[in-house]
């Protein structure tokens, strides 16, 4: 299975060396809505956060996917985007890794499914993070900074799948299938919800 041509065309409009992560918002929003549509009780919510550093005027966005169940919005996936020029830069990848871990910390108390996935997208390359609720384990594991030498705390090899290639698409679709199965374990909307009062 391949992405719809309209999604491929959206990615094709992005200049390879763009420094603007916002150029990727539209295509990734389209992918998330394609895979997790509102007709299946999912809601893709762009959330602005920032500034990204003290004194900075730059803001960044994260896409949080919620499942609507029992009158509640429950987080089931999130995705953060960075421009492709982050990939070869050790410090930029480290910053992206830190942002992902902070986002898990913000969402952990609201998780109702066994596993929460987060996707760090650098251009079209992705690194999948996995938080397991029962064990409280987040992978890939944190690589601590060495106190004496500059070490790579977010190796480029972690972003080893390109979503525009078959392997990356299969990975992403597989994650979504797993998420949908987990959502079946969440209670169905009660008779008190708005939609059932109509």
- What distance in Å separates the CA atoms of residue 156 and residue 54, rounded to the nearest whole number? 26
- What distance in Å separates the CA atoms of residue 85 and residue 157, rounded to the nearest whole number? 15
148-179 per-position pLDDT tens digit: 999 999 999 999 999 999 999 999 999 999 99
What DSSP state is assigned to residue 72? E
The residue ranges of every structural domain in the chain are 5-197
pLDDT reported for residue 56: 46
pLDDT reported for residue 16: 87
- What distance in Å separates the CA atoms of residue 100 and residue 20, rounded to the nearest whole number? 19
Interhelix angle 25-35/166-183, nearest 10 degrees: 50
Average pLDDT along the chain: 90
Stretch 105-126: mean pLDDT: 97
Segment 2-10 long-range contacts (CB within 8 Å, at least 24 positions apart): 2/169, 3/31, 3/34, 3/164, 3/169, 4/34, 6/30, 7/31, 7/34, 8/164
Binning pLDDT at 50, 70 and 90, where does residue 71 land?
confident
State the pTM of this model.
Answer: 0.88
CB 124 within 8 A of CB 163: yes
What HEC string does 72-118 produce?
EEEEEEEEEEECHHHCCCHHHHHHHHHHHHHHHHHHHHHCCCCEEEE
């Amino acid at each position: 299975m391949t992405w719809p041509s309209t999604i491929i065309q959206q990615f094709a409009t992005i200049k390879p060396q763009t420094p603007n992560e916002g150029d990727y918002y539209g295509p990734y929003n389209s992918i998330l809505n394609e895979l997790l549509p509102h007709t299946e009780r999912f809601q893709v919510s762009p959330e602005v956060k920032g500034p990204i550093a003290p004194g900075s005027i730059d803001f960044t966005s994260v896409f949080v996917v919620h499942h609507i169940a029992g009158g509640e919005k429950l987080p089931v996936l999130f995705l953060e985007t960075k421009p492709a020029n982050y990939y070869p830069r050790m410090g930029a990848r480290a910053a992206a890794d830190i942002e992902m871990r902070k986002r898990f910390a913000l969402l952990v108390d609201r998780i109702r499914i066994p596993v929460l996935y987060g996707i760090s997208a650098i251009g079209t390359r992705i690194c999948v993070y996995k938080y397991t609720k029962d064990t409280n384990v987040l992978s890939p594991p944190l690589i601590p900074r060495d106190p004496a030498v500059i070490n790579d705390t977010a190796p480029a090899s972690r972003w080893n799948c390109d979503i525009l290639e078959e392997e990356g698409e299969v990975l992403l679709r597989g994650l979504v299938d797993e998420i949908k199965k987990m959502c079946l374990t969440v209670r169905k909307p009660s008779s008190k919800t708005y939609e059932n009062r109509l």
